[in-house]
Amino acid sequence: MAPADRLANILWEGGLRGSVPFGATNRMVCFSASPVEHLHWLLNDRAFPPWALLFTREWVYRSDGGPVWYTRDAQHRTLTPDQRDWAVRFDAYTSDWLHEREWRIPVRSEFNGLQITSDVIVSALIGEPTWAPWRQVLEPTGYLIGMDGTPGLDGVAPEMAPQWRLPALWDRIHAFWWDRANRRFVLVHAPAQG
């Protein structure tokens, strides 16, 4: 999935699925704990795509998450399988992932992922100033359709028609566009006042 599509999918599903990180045995949701200066470096110097949801470190910690452990190869071999879920093998010459400042939250086996709500999202970071996670969804028109599929008063099912909609989460969060030319974040979407 392209980064913009992945962000749209997360907002529509209201959750983070997670995956099994390299060298781990269980699914985890992975984050980068980047202060603003580091985020600028990732976006400009490392050319990371500017598509993300931002959360507080406190929320990650309250969700049973924490920072990964960067271990040398000899240390890594001594870890138990559960400990390897939290470890990233480090080698200054061939495997240096320190720039990611990675944190992880384990995904319990009985769940598909982590549910997220607008109160835990600090903001979204998007790569295009006019982007929004629009999607066509089927909604009832208010009419009924008959057995033969035509509209009628003797209908047995609601008629459905595609409508363009935004996910509920989008209407409740701030979104900032990364203006690469001016190297700054620009607020492009704010929750509706109501």
Residue 151 falls within a domain, yes or no?
Answer: no
Q: What 3-state class would DSSP assign to 178?
A: strand
Q: Supply the range of the domain harboring residue 185.
A: 3-132+167-189
pLDDT band at residue 150 using 50, 70 and 90 as cut-offs: low
Using an 8 Å Cβ cutoff, are 166 and 7 in contact? no
Residue 80 domain flag: yes
**16 in any annotated domain:** yes
Torsional class of 47: left (φ above 0), alpha (ψ -120 to 50), beta (otherwise)? left
Over range 32-53, report the average pLDDT.
88
Residue with tokens 């993300």: 52
Average pLDDT over residues 111-124: 91
Q: What's the rounded Cα separation, in Å, for the pair 126 and 179?
A: 10
Number of folded domains that form the chain? 1
Task: Give the residue among 66, 194, 58 at the shortest CA–CA distance from 119.
Answer: 58
Q: How confident is the model at residue 110 (pLDDT cuts 50, 70, 90)?
A: confident
Q: Give the residue, 126 or 34, on which the prediction is more confident.
A: 126
Residue 54, pLDDT above cutoff 90: yes
